[in-house]
Amino acid sequence: MTTAVQSEAVRLADLIRGAGSVVALTGAGISVPSGIPDFRSPRTGLWANVDPMEVAHITAFRRDPERFWRFYGERFQTLEQKRPNRAHEALATLEQAGLLDAVITQNIDRLHALAGSRELIEVHGSIDHCSCLGCGSRYPLVEVQTRLAADAVGVPRCECSLPLKPDVVLFGEYLPPDMLARAEQLAAGADLMLCIGSSLEVYPVAELPTLTLNGGGRIVILTQGRTPFDDRATVRGSGDVVDELDALIGALGLG
Ligand code: ZN
């Protein structure tokens, strides 16, 4: 661990201790150490030449669920076996210690939930369940996998026979308004927002740091690569997210 990471961690620990309300905002970067590549990074393998915006689109799901599930079923298989890393665990530890109010995440991989984060706002949904757009029934991931494997053309189906849709926000879909409102409320009321592993470029996450800053709060950015908020961050760390959060947990005496 570098001295830069350690001195950042000490500053960050002071900021957290001094803040009334602290919220974390996480993106793909926090799950990279769990072996989940950033969805937007260059792709390899079978789907290398497929545009996710096209195949993971709500219109594609409605028009051709078979093709949609060939693509999404593979993502499910990859994601299902992944486990939280120490960065996810650090945020759960902060929450348990009463030093973090909530985690807002763009990630659909459910790793924050598996790590033990309780107050969790998954703004793009989660692979944890699938739903039927016809009758509204919901199925947990393990049941979806069984139905996917049992179907002749690889489409998990509801009891009513319609194809199930992952409870994630597909391209072309709106975010659930209540979830978005909750994220905005948390961001606006935060004294400190920890932005971790996100380029802060994708809506709605891109607007949340502004809400914190406009409300008089501060933002901290721990991510590799630039963000539009770098100039306004009180602490700007660009080390490995696991190292950064390990150092923070150590600096807070929670390790
Ligand atoms: Zn149904």
The answer to whether residues 164 and 242 belong to one domain is no
Spatial contact of 141 and 126, defined as CB atoms under 8 Å apart: no
Q: How far is the CA of 173 from the centre of ligand 1 (A)?
A: 19
Comparing 8-12, 37-41, 116-120, 218-222, the range with the smallest average pLDDT is 37-41
The answer to whether residues 48 and 148 belong to one domain is yes
d(CA 31, CA 241): 9
The answer to whether residues 160 and 92 belong to one domain is no
Comparing 43-57, 83-97, 172-186, the range with the smallest average pLDDT is 43-57
Instruction: Provide the percentage of residues in the chain whose pLDDT is more than 90.
Output: 77
Alpha-carbon dihedral angle through residues 79, 143, 128, 70, given to the nearest 10 degrees: 50
CATH number of residue 10's parent domain: 3.40.50.1220
The answer to whether residues 97 and 16 belong to one domain is yes
d(CA 211, CA 180): 13
Q: How far is the CA of 136 from the centre of ligand 1 (A)?
A: 6
The answer to whether residues 159 and 192 belong to one domain is no
Domain boundary among 148, 168, 188: 168
Q: How far is the CA of 74 from the centre of ligand 1 (A)?
A: 23
- Burial degree of 116 (CB within 10 A; 0-12, 13-18, 19+): middle
pLDDT of residue 74: 83
pLDDT of 40 above 80: no
The answer to whether residues 31 and 70 belong to one domain is no
The answer to whether residues 242 and 133 belong to one domain is no
At 91-105, the pLDDT tens digits run 999 999 999 999 999
In total, how many domains does the chain have? 2
Instruction: Provide the percentage of residues in the chain whose pLDDT is more than 70.
Output: 95
At 147-178, the pLDDT tens digits run 999 999 999 999 999 999 999 999 899 888 99
Q: How far is the CA of 160 from the centre of ligand 1 (A)?
A: 4
d(CA 61, CA 43): 21
At 102-148, the pLDDT tens digits run 999 999 999 999 999 999 999 999 999 999 999 999 999 999 999 99
Contacts of 223 (CB under 8 A, 6+ apart): 27, 29, 195, 196, 197, 198, 199, 200, 237, 238, 241
pLDDT of 51 above 90: no
Active-site residue 88, yes or no?
no
The answer to whether residues 221 and 197 belong to one domain is yes
The answer to whether residues 15 and 88 belong to one domain is yes
Q: How far is the CA of 122 from the centre of ligand 1 (A)?
A: 24
Domain boundary among 139, 168, 197: 168
- Burial degree of 158 (CB within 10 A; 0-12, 13-18, 19+): buried
Tell me phi and psi for residue 86, to 5 degrees: -65, -20
pLDDT of residue 204: 80
Sign of CA dihedral 118, 123, 124, 125: positive
Q: How far is the CA of 164 from the centre of ligand 1 (A)?
A: 8
Number of H helices, E strands in the chain: 10, 9
Which domain does 55 fall in, by range?
A: 39-81+127-168
pLDDT of residue 44: 53
pLDDT band at 49 (very low <50, low <70, confident <90, very high): low
Q: How far is the CA of 159 from the centre of ligand 1 (A)?
A: 6
Domain boundary among 144, 168, 192: 168
Strands of the sheet with 120-122, listed across from one edge: 120-122, 102-105, 22-26, 192-196, 218-222, 233-237
d(CA 30, CA 104): 12
The answer to whether residues 31 and 104 belong to one domain is yes
The answer to whether residues 17 and 104 belong to one domain is yes
DSSP 130: E
User: When comparing pLDDT for 75 and 201, which is higher?
Assistant: 201
d(CA 28, CA 145): 24
Q: How does the average pLDDT of the chain come out, rounded?
A: 92
CATH number of residue 137's parent domain: 3.30.1600.10
- Catalytic-role residue among 57, 88, 112, 124: 124
pLDDT of residue 53: 76
d(CA 84, CA 244): 16
